[in-house]
Amino acid sequence: MLRLALIASLTAILGGCAGTTTDTVDAAKTAPAKVAANWSQDQQQKLQQLLQGTPYVLSEVSGGWLIRIDEKDTFNPHRPELLLPAALGNIGQITRHLAQDHEVAVMVVGVATGKYKLKSKEQVSEERAQSVASIFRLNRVPGHRLKTLGVSQGERIDSALAVALLVVPEHELHQRVAAGHGQVVAMLDRR
């Protein structure tokens, strides 16, 4: 009789543990989605507040946020790779904020879709990305949280766009770089 009671209680305990394990597995599967949603919502609030009063536009992209910086009033029309002094304050404000947030990483995407006198579109796009990235470096954003990319081709790219800052969780930056040029170009479509 004692043996039967012991087996029954052991079965009940194991059955309860099995149910808990299943619940734990389900919770573990939903946890990353909740963390990503919380990160995205938190970044949206921070970035919207940061961009108030600037001409820059914030848009949500898969797994991150895109800050769109137009060519007008940001880059010199005669030397299209050089930032105008008036733009340095706004871009500096963004870089200081992102430098302090150790959970984020940034891909600086330079865009050049026009015709330029002395340089190719490829050169201008790369140099634009480097110009903005240099401000991130001045604010001590480490290289593992900062990547650059020049984009000069894509039929749907907004022609007014000069730079886009792709803000993603730090662990996703290298995946974005590995995903390639085509995925980034798809995010730069006309809005």
The string of pLDDT tens digits covering residues 80-138 is 999 999 999 999 999 999 999 998 999 999 998 788 888 888 899 999 999 999 999 99
Q: How far is CA 55 from the centre of its chain?
A: 19
pLDDT, tens digit, for every residue of 133-154?
Answer: 999 999 999 989 999 988 887 6
Say if residue 188 is exposed, middle or buried (CB neighbours under 10 Å; 0-12, 13-18, 19+).
Answer: buried
Which residue from 112, 52, 55 is spatially nearest to 80, judged by alpha carbons?
112
pLDDT band at 67 (very low <50, low <70, confident <90, very high): very high
Domains of the chain, first to last? 30-187 (3.30.1330.60)
- Contact present, 148 and 181 (Cβ < 8 Å): no
Confidence check: pLDDT of 190 > 50: yes
Here the tokens at position 120 are: 């190719």
Could you tell me the pTM of the whole model?
A: 0.77
- Contact present, 119 and 81 (Cβ < 8 Å): yes
- Contact present, 132 and 165 (Cβ < 8 Å): yes
**Can you tell me the distance from the alpha carbon of 156 to that of 10, in angstroms, rounded to the nearest whole number?**
65
